[in-house]
Amino acid sequence: MIIVWRQLGKTKVKKKFSKSDLKDFKKIVLRKKEEILSDLKHISDDTLRKSQKEASGDISGYTYHMADVATDNYDREFSLGLASSERKSLYELDDALKRIEEGSFGICDDCKSFITKIRLKAVPSARLCIKCQQKREKK
């Protein structure tokens, strides 16, 4: 068991990312940001439309169709909830960009080894290597 662990420890000492790797990561992060921004725009347009509909106010409609109102409110809360999780992702991507600039990108917060390229390409905002991520999820 100890021997296996040592071997893993050795493979942990990885080469730093090259400049072209970092450039690729930056592109991936920026593309993800754009995707989220366009999603957010879509959500806020939708939410705005609903508010305008309410503001233009068919008050009697509200009295007679309480169930509909409840559904509308639920939808809006759902959209806003979604938007806030998108905002969190945006923040994480911005953070990843900052780390690319600083040169600390792709280093695991817990064990300080390099996170694999495959993982970073899938989740560019990852701050933990797979092993540390799994360890945290178990807790």
3-state SS of the chain? Answer: CHHHHHHHHHHHCCCCCCHHHHHHHHHHHHHHHHHHHHHHHHHHHHHHHHHHHHHCCCHHHHHHCHHHHHHHHHHHHHHHHHHHHHHHHHHHHHHHHHHHHHCCCCECCCCCCECCHHHHHHCCCCCCCHHHHHHHHHC
> Does position 108 bind Zn ion by CB under 5 A?
yes
Q: Can you tell me the distance from the alpha carbon of 125 to that of 93, in angstroms, rounded to the nearest whole number?
A: 5
Contacts of 47 (CB under 8 A, 6+ apart): 76, 79, 80, 83
> Does position 107 bind Zn ion by CB under 5 A?
no
> Does position 132 bind Zn ion by CB under 5 A?
yes
Min dist. Cβ of residue 12 to Zn ion (A): 8
Stretches 41-49, 77-85, 86-94, 123-131: which one binds Zn ion (CB under 5 A)?
123-131
> Does position 120 bind Zn ion by CB under 5 A?
no
Which 20-59 positions form the footprint of Zn ion (CB under 5 A)? none
> Does position 110 bind Zn ion by CB under 5 A?
yes
Min dist. Cβ of residue 115 to Zn ion (A): 7
Min dist. Cβ of residue 100 to Zn ion (A): 19
> Does position 82 bind Zn ion by CB under 5 A?
no
Whichever of 10 and 19 has its CB closer to Zn ion, that residue is 10
Judged by CB under 5 A, the residue of 92, 111, 117, 119 near Zn ion is 111
- Chain residues binding Zn ion by CB under 5 A are 108, 110-111, 129, 132
